[in-house]
A and B are shown apart, each in its own frame.
Chain A
Amino acid sequence: MKILVAVKRVVDYAVKVRVRPDRTGVETANVKMSMNPFCEIAVEEALRLREAGAAAEVVAATVGPAQSADTLRTALAMGADRAVHVLHDQDPARPLLPLAVAKILRAVALQEKPDLVILGKQAIDDDCNQTGQMLAGLLQWPQGTFASKIILDTEKQKATVEREVDGGIESICLDLPAVITTDLRLNQPRYATLPNIMKAKSKVIKKIAPEDLGVDIRSDMEVIEVNEPPKRKAGVILSSVDELLDKLKNEARVL
């Protein structure tokens, strides 16, 4: 069986982002970019399923500008077999929304015919947490979101997914093909070794324009402005527990 993994290039998780002075967005020029951490987990899971013999091929896909090819190379260096790059240059005022990405990924899925699509549960830049669910809805496939464990039964064409939900861990069973989104605790992604990075350079990245997929990528959201969150007023360092209790009782009045 075949697994399709969607990856996104985002500002590195450790970067403290700054809002642009013109308030049109956050500064992304000359900022370190990386693969979205949840997407790394998705790639890792697909590779583990392949290594366990449950899948024959892992295809990585992304939607984004030319530089997103770096992210696909990372996925290939981790071990993905080949990649699909849907080229799209972003207009900051009319961002590419999860619905458009989901429609593009549906078109890719219809071409590639995977048995399983794995995505991250959310991108750490827009924090939307939508694409996987939308893709599942558009394909009319079942969904297993926020997965912390995936067990595939290729014979019965079923996946058992343990999900991280508000009250604890929920277990559900899905008919394949299905869409699964990853939570942090699904696995620990591997590092790409140098030989694998070299090998990845010869792997194929297929480039596609959204128009070739016949997808309308209208955006129904207009960014009006982006602001810094309100600053908290400076706090004080206290010297003792007594002082702390006194402040909480008499100054903050929360005890």
Chain B
Amino acid sequence: MAAMLVGALRRGSGCRGGSRLLAQSLRRFVSTLVVAEHEGGFVKPSSLSALAAAEAIAKDNKVSVLLGGSGPALHKAADHAASSHPLVSEVLVADSEALAHPLAEPWAELLRSVQQKGGYSHVIASSTSFGKNLLPRAAALLDVSPVTDVTAVKEPHVFVRPIYAGNALCTVKYTGEEPCMMSIRSTSFSPTTEAMSETKVAPITQVDLSFLSEGKSSWVNLTSQDTERPDLANARVVVTGGRGLKSAENFKLLEQLAEKLGAAVGATRAAVDAGYVPNDLQVGQTGKIVAPELYMAFGVSGAIQHLAGMRDSKVIVAVNKDADAPIFQVADYGLVADLFEVLDELLKKIPEKK
């Protein structure tokens, strides 16, 4: 019955008022749109976390995945999305040059259009720079308030999110109109690892893009640091350096250690500002949020803003000369020592990566 109604709604007219009314009468049915990112023909792990969040909202959630871009990689990613999670009931593909780069303007229009057709009760994106750029703009177009950086779902409209750099956890209830839009903190939702049976593959539909208009913004380029190491936000082990590393040269020692551990390298704001490493390695309130199994901090004092980005790590190791450094208050294991001596010794004693 629910499925039929939702189906009827999807096929229903594009008229905004009509679909809204109908959407409200269907309030007890949960249907979610996940705005996914893809790379190299695969849905990104952060977007798979968004699928896990959709499952946390309702066990029988009907999930549609929206993918945009152009070229063969998009369609390969769509195939991946179609079999990525048991709850995925449909993959929507928006194929256009205008969406090839993550510009907020066409993407927000796309999201508005897809929401108005689909009448979803929830819209989820991951709190990546893409999600944070896009979701609030789309929410404003739909005249609803999104919830940023959800770390737990208590009820379909009750969420927990950190405020004040993670020094307080705020439980909020969304009381507004549908859709309830949110960005989720991917480290708080583990993507489903269980393999799906071959038979469950969701249908893939092309999105009608006739609404796209001439843009007021254009993409120029992306300067990225190519690295072989795992992605910082999803790495199992992260080694981080702060001001105590003293130079970009010395950061190489940290990179050697990371190499041996199969770890990602992170940095504090001080290390980035001093030019030791590029800014996309910054861990903290305004940088990346990580929650690896092992977090090793070298020469990191542990400012509030840095702790905000790593306090949910399973095991925290701190190496610092200053025994009073705040980092020791959150560390499971601390070494009050010269970090260069410790690094040298670790490099000697840790065997090559298996």
Contacts of B15 in A (CB 8 A): none
**Considering the chains assembled together, what is the distance between the CA atoms of A169 and B224 in angstroms?**
6
Tell me whether B167 and A227 are in contact (CB under 8 A).
no
Set B105, B286, B315: member contacting A183, Cβ < 8 A: B286
**Considering the chains assembled together, what is the distance between the CA atoms of A248 and B222 in angstroms?**
39
Contacts of B144 in A (CB 8 A): 99, 220
Contacts of B317 in A (CB 8 A): 244, 248
Tell me whether B133 and A143 are in contact (CB under 8 A).
yes
**Considering the chains assembled together, what is the distance between the CA atoms of A144 and B223 in angstroms?**
16
Do A164 and B129 form a contact, CB below 8 Å, given A130-B146, A141-B216, A184-B286?
yes
Q: Is A52 an interface residue (CB 8 A)?
A: no
Nearest-Cβ distance from residue B287 to partner chain A, whole angstroms: 9
Tell me whether A235 and B219 are in contact (CB under 8 A).
no
Set A125, A144, A219: member contacting B164, Cβ < 8 A: A125
Nearest-Cβ distance from residue A216 to partner chain B, whole angstroms: 10
**Considering the chains assembled together, what is the distance between the CA atoms of A14 and B326 in angstroms?**
13
Q: Is A29 an interface residue (CB 8 A)?
A: no
Q: Which listed segment binds B: A61-69, A75-83, A132-140?
A: A132-140
Per-position binary interface string of chain B over residues 139-156, scored 1 when its CB falls under 8 Å from any chain A CB and 0 otherwise: 111011111110000000
Per-position binary interface string of chain A over residues 48-66, scored 1 when its CB falls under 8 Å from any chain B CB and 0 otherwise: 0000000000000000000
* 11 A-B pairs in the complex with CB atoms less than 8 angstroms apart: A13-B304, A146-B129, A165-B130, A171-B220, A173-B219, A185-B272, A220-B176, A224-B173, A244-B335, A248-B333, A255-B261
Tell me whether A245 and B350 are in contact (CB under 8 A).
yes
Q: Is B210 an interface residue (CB 8 A)?
A: no
Q: Is B99 an interface residue (CB 8 A)?
A: no
Interface size, A (range): 35 or more
Per-position binary interface string of chain A over residues 241-255, scored 1 when its CB falls under 8 Å from any chain B CB and 0 otherwise: 110110110001011
**Interface residues of B, count at CB 8 A:** 88
Per-position binary interface string of chain B over residues 289-324, scored 1 when its CB falls under 8 Å from any chain A CB and 0 otherwise: 000011000000000110000010011110000010
Per-position binary interface string of chain B over residues 218-251, scored 1 when its CB falls under 8 Å from any chain A CB and 0 otherwise: 1111111100000001000100000000000000
Q: Is A145 an interface residue (CB 8 A)?
A: yes
Set B136, B176, B223, B342: member contacting A134, Cβ < 8 A: B136
Contacts of A172 in B (CB 8 A): 103, 217-220
Do A133 and B170 form a contact, CB below 8 Å, given A220-B144, A220-B176, A254-B314?
no
Nearest-Cβ distance from residue A3 to partner chain B, whole angstroms: 18
Contacts of A214 in B (CB 8 A): none
Tell me whether A127 and B171 are in contact (CB under 8 A).
no
Do A248 and B315 form a contact, CB below 8 Å, given A13-B305, A17-B164?
yes
Contacts of A185 in B (CB 8 A): 272-273, 279
Q: Is A34 an interface residue (CB 8 A)?
A: no
Tell me whether B221 and A170 are in contact (CB under 8 A).
yes
Tell me whether A229 and B333 are in contact (CB under 8 A).
no
**Considering the chains assembled together, what is the distance between the CA atoms of A143 and B311 in angstroms?**
32
Tell me whether A138 and B346 are in contact (CB under 8 A).
no
**Considering the chains assembled together, what is the distance between the CA atoms of A168 and B33 in angstroms?**
28
**Considering the chains assembled together, what is the distance between the CA atoms of A163 and B167 in angstroms?**
27
